Amino acid sequence: MRLFSFLFVLISSTVLVAQDTAEKSMAALTIKFENSAVKSFKVMQFNGFSFEELADVPVVDSMARVEVELSSVRFFYVGTDTRNMKPIILEPGSDENMLLTQQSFRALRFDRNSLNGQYTIATKALRDINKKRDNMVKKWHSVRSNPEQAESIGQIFERIAVDEKELRDSFAIIKPFFGSCYDIMTYQTFQAAPESFNNELLHYVNKRFDGIDFSNPNVYNNSWLYEAFKEFSTLVSSYTLTTEDHENAIKSQLFRATNGQAKVLAYAGILAGLEEKKHGNYSVFAKNFLEEFKTIKPEIRSMLEAKIKRMDAYRIGGAAPLFSQNDPEGNPISLEDLKGKVVLLDFWASWCGPCRRENPNVVKVYDKYKDKGFEILGISLDKDKGRWLGAIEKDGLTWPQVSDLKGWSNVVGKMYGVSSIPHTVLIDEEGNILALKLRGPALEKKLEEIFADK
């Protein structure tokens, strides 16, 4: 058996490294392999944006052992790559023994009394009680108009909160780290204290991260923190809020993460949620992150800068991504060629009923403003060229039209995150996004404002 040691390395930031000053000691992981096909595996860590490889460990005589120097409980990921890996935890002084009987590292086995066995039991109990709570939230929503039933369910929430705290404390006695996991992944629901805020969103924003000690290494080194902030930004982005209110809601909780490592995980989770929801404020938070962490690894900086450009397609005020696509005759039409005009990108298709019903309104505003510096560029999500051309003629669409005839895989549609049609993007003379998803009277009103003095 060979021994491989490596130093636990954090994201390349002087802020983060400087905070990891606690005394370190060794933790060990030994894996026995009953599947001879596994010749080596990697030990990785999650930095919030990617999985970093810490060691490539060969398997010798069906065994492998790794030693890690660390100062607190940490998550690691072991496997052949990011598609075949399993999260584990190690703590200073621990010596974990595991068994793999197949090629999939997700099947990695360990004793239930080991550190990872206890963690598995604790997190299963956490998921079970959270599932019970979530089911009761759904039930509460179905009966909230009935005061008696709502009050009865509210009492159940109070009991769930008591059970949750007892469960949390029982596991925290075993390992403080387990208690921190509970703190990160649980919070008081609105239904348990409906009098505290006017509505669920305000309650959620203000109470989601209550009671979490962000200066505790069991918190700021914990991957669950990333998941919690991702869930937070995803849920907040599901509400219809102004751009400013949305930004303020997320910032109001981001400030809690004063520890540098916690803030990196918080930012990363927020950005992941905003990207998933295609929210325009992605660029705001990504730029703030890059400004705050100037020494972040170059590859992470490059990745975020590229995403900022792409995500600007969802942000009012952002630069509209440039593209070129062919018209029905095969001639390329470029968005850049239309600079100097107010342009409406109109994503539609011949088979889309709402699009066809909206077309008369679009024809109306085009005829009214086309001589004042207004242009429309139709981008069709059709696959059948004949049907596309037939709809253009039948609906009297006289403005330029383009398509790559790839349906929902249309390159421009994917560039602009189009997930439903009709979808519109209004662009000013300088190429910046003025408005999104305007239709009917809303589109007419906006164009009237723009061309009032022209």
pLDDT tens-digit series, residues 161-200: 788 788 888 888 888 999 999 889 888 787 777 777 888 8
Give the β-pairing of 84-90 and 4-7. Answer: unpaired
CA angle 269, 107, 88 (to 5 degrees): 45
Residue 242: the pLDDT is: 85
What is residue 274's predicted lDDT score, i.e. its pLDDT? 95
Amino acid 151: pLDDT: 73
pLDDT of residue 12: 26
Per-residue confidence (pLDDT) for residue 153, from 0 to 100: 75
Question: What pLDDT is stored for residue 393 in this prediction?
Answer: 96
Q: What confidence tier does 18 reach under pLDDT thresholds 50, 70, 90?
A: very low
- Secondary structure of residue 376 in the 3-state scheme: strand
- Quick one: average pLDDT of 210-230? 92
pLDDT of residue 3: 35
Lowest-confidence segment of 42-46, 127-131, 242-246, 429-433 by average pLDDT: 127-131
**Cα–Cα separations (whole angstroms), residue 200 to 8, 191, 248, 390, 454:** 41, 8, 17, 49, 45
Strand partners, 111: none
For residue 33, give every residue at least 6 positions away whose Cβ sits within 8 Å of its Cβ, in sequence order, or none.
Answer: 59, 62, 63, 64, 100
**Any bridge partners for residue 70, and if so which?**
25
Residue 258 pLDDT more than 80?
Answer: yes
pLDDT bin (cut points 50, 70, 90) of residue 11 is very low
Q: What is the pLDDT of residue 41?
A: 92
Fold assignment, 4-110: Immunoglobulin-like (2.60.40)
Residue 8 reports pLDDT greater than 60: no
Length, in residues, of the chain: 454
Q: In percent, how much of the chain has pLDDT > 90?
A: 59
Q: What is the pLDDT of residue 370?
A: 93
Question: Tens digits of per-residue pLDDT, 407-420?
Answer: 999 999 998 889 89
Given its phi and psi angles, is residue 93 left (phi above 0), alpha (psi -120 to 50 degrees) or beta? Answer: left
pLDDT band at 85 (very low <50, low <70, confident <90, very high): very high
Instruction: Please state the pTM of the whole predicted model.
Output: 0.76
Domain ranges of the chain: 4-110, 111-196, 324-450
Task: List the strands of the sheet with 109-110, edge to edge.
Answer: 4-7, 63-70, 25-33, 95-100, 109-110
Whether 65 contacts 4, CB under 8 Å: yes
284-340 pLDDT per residue, tens: 999 999 999 998 889 999 999 999 988 877 788 888 889 999 999 999 999 999 999
Nearest CA to 263 out of 241, 285, 279 is that of 285
| C-alpha pair distances (Å), 428 with each of 17, 22, 256, 335, 367 | 45, 54, 38, 12, 18
Looking at residue 4, its pLDDT comes to 37
Q: What is the pLDDT of residue 291?
A: 95
CATH number of 324-450: 3.40.30.10
pLDDT tens readout for residues 97-143? 999 998 899 999 999 999 999 999 988 888 888 888 888 888 877 87
Using one digit for the tens of pLDDT, what is the confidence trace for 391-410? 999 999 999 999 999 999 99
For the chain, give the mean pLDDT: 87
Q: Are 187 and 210 in contact (CB under 8 A)?
A: yes
User: Is residue 34 a contact partner of residue 100, using CB atoms and an 8 Å limit?
Assistant: yes
Topology agreement, domain 4-110 and domain 324-450: no
